[in-house]
Amino acid sequence: MSSGDLTADRRFAYAQMLRKDGDFAAAAEVLAQALELAPRWAEGTFNLAETLVDAGRKYDAVPVFEQYLELDPADSMGAAVKLALISEAKPPAMPPAYIERLFDEYAPRFEKALLEKLHYRAPQLIKEALDECAPGRKFARAFDLGCGTGLAGLALRERALWLGGVDLSAAMVKGARDKNIYDDLIVGDMTQALRELTNPCDLIAAADVLTYVGDLAGVFAEVRAKLMADGLFVFTLQRHDGDGYVLGGEHRFSHSRTYIESIAGGFEALKIDDAVSRREKGKDVPGLIAVLRKH
C-alpha cells in the first residue's frame, strides 16, 4: 500500500486512524493531502473515494473512483462495483482482477472463516442435491467452477472418475492442489476454462461462485456447450425475490428463480429449491440450489 513517499504514507496511516474512530470527514481531508504528494497512488485514491462514501459524500466519491480506474484500469480494488452501487446499476460481473486480488488475500483464512463464521454449506447442498436427483450415479468427467480451496471438490470426488477445477485466484488453487483430490486444476476465468476444455463433461458444479457474476447467460451457454447429453449442472446462488438479478452491498449478486428459468434453455430443471448456503452477520442468506439436466 506504500505510495513511495514517506510523508504521504504517514498521512495515509493517520487517516486510517481517523477512519477507525469514525471521523470520516477529517480522514478524507488528510487523504487528500497525502494524494497531493503522491497523485499517481492508486490505492490511496481508492481509499479516499471509499472514505468520501463513508462520510456521506458518495457523489463526490464518483470522480475519485473514476480517477482510480485511470490509474488501475484492471480495477483490482473493485471501483466499478462501488460505482455500480452508487448509481444502482447492474454490472454483468465483478472485475476479474478484483476477484483475483480479493481471494488471493483471503486464501490463508478462507476455510476457517467460511466454516466457522459463515456456516458455509454449499458443498453439502450440492452433495444432497445430487443424491436426490442422481442417486448412485457416477460421473466420468466432473468440472468444479470457482473451485476455491477444494471444499466442493471434496463433496464431488467420490462420484467422479476424473475431477477438474478452475479458479481466478492462484492462492486458492494452491489450497485445492494441496488437498490432492483434483486430476487437473487451472488458474483462470471459468468461462474461458470451459471454452478450452478438450473433452465434454457429464457433471459441472458451481458452489457459491455464480454470486460474483450478474448476467449468467454466458456462463450457462458455455456450460451447455461442454456438457454431454444427460449431463448435470448443479449450482448454488443467493436468492433475489424480485426480477432478474441485483448487486448487493456485500459485493455479491443475487438472482431470482424466474431469471434462472429464463436462461435455462436446453436444460430440464430437476431441482430449483430455496436453500441457505451461508450466514452473514448471524442471519441466514436466502439462496437457491439447482440441478439442471442437459436435453
Place of cell 436462461: 263
Give the CATH number of the domain where residue 39 resides.
1.25.40.10
Q: Nearest to residue 51, comparing CAs of 25, 70, 77, 80?
A: 25
CA neighbor of 195 nearest in space, from 162, 170, 218, 213? 218
pLDDT at res. 1: 74
Residue 166 lies in a domain: yes
C-alpha to C-alpha distances, 135 to 131, 209, 211, 219, 232, nearest whole angstrom:
5, 25, 27, 26, 13
Task: Look at residue 250 and tell me if it is in a domain.
Answer: yes
Final residue belonging to a domain, choices 89, 116, 146 = 89
Cell numbers found for residue 111: 476455510
Q: What per-residue confidence (pLDDT) applies to 104?
A: 95
Domain check: are 26 and 138 in the same one?
A: no
Are 230 and 163 contained in the same domain? yes
101 in any annotated domain? no
The residue segments making up the domain with residue 145 are 108-294
Residue 98 covered by a domain: no
Give the bridge partners for 141, in sequence order.
162
Q: Do 280 and 201 fall into the same domain?
A: yes
**Same domain assignment for residues 134 and 196:** yes
**In the structure grid, which three cell numbers stand for residue 57, read together?**
459524500
> Looking at residue 56, what is its pLDDT?
97
Does any domain span residue 100?
no
Residues 25 and 138 in one domain: no
Answer yes or no: are the C-beta atoms of 288 and 274 closer than 8 Å: yes
Asked whether residue 244 is assigned to any structural domain, the reply reads yes
Is the same domain home to 167 and 252? yes
Burial class (CB in 10 A: 0-12, 13-18, 19+), 70: exposed
* 55 and 155 co-located in one domain: no
Provide the percentage of residues in the chain whose pLDDT is more than 70: 100
Structure confidence by residue, pLDDT tens digits, 68-119: 999 999 999 999 999 999 999 999 999 999 999 999 999 999 999 999 889 9
pLDDT of residue 67: 98
Domain termination site, one of 89, 116, 137: 89
- Rounded-to-integer distance, Cα 155 and Cα 161, Å: 13
10, 16, 19, 24 alpha-carbon torsion, rounded to 10°: 40
Same domain, 142 and 222: yes
Are residues 201 and 56 part of one domain? no
The answer to whether position 66 is within a domain reads yes
Tens-digit pLDDT profile for residues 190-230: 999 999 999 999 999 999 999 999 999 999 999 999 999 99
Percent of the chain with pLDDT over 90: 98
- Using one digit for the tens of pLDDT, what is the confidence trace for 155-197? 999 999 999 999 999 999 999 999 999 999 999 999 999 999 9
Residue 32 CB contacts under 8 Å (≥ 6 apart), including other chains: 48
Q: Does pLDDT of 7 surpass 80?
A: yes
pLDDT the model gives residue 225: 97
pTM: 0.94
Q: For position 186, which CATH number holds?
A: 3.40.50.150
Q: Is 80 exceeded by the pLDDT of residue 8?
A: yes
- The 3-class SS string of 120-144 reads CCHHHHHHHHHHHHCCCCCEEEEEE
Angle at 59 (CA atoms; ends 58, 64), nearest 5 degrees: 85
pLDDT digits (tens, 9 = 90+) for 20-29: 999 999 999 9
Q: Is residue 97 part of a domain?
A: no
Question: 25 — phi, psi (to 5°)?
Answer: -65, -45
The mean pLDDT of the chain is: 96
| Pairing label, strands 267-275, 279-280 | unpaired
User: Do residues 81 and 221 share a domain?
Assistant: no
Domains identified in the chain, total number: 2
Same domain as 69, residue 11: yes
- 52 lies in the same domain as 172: no
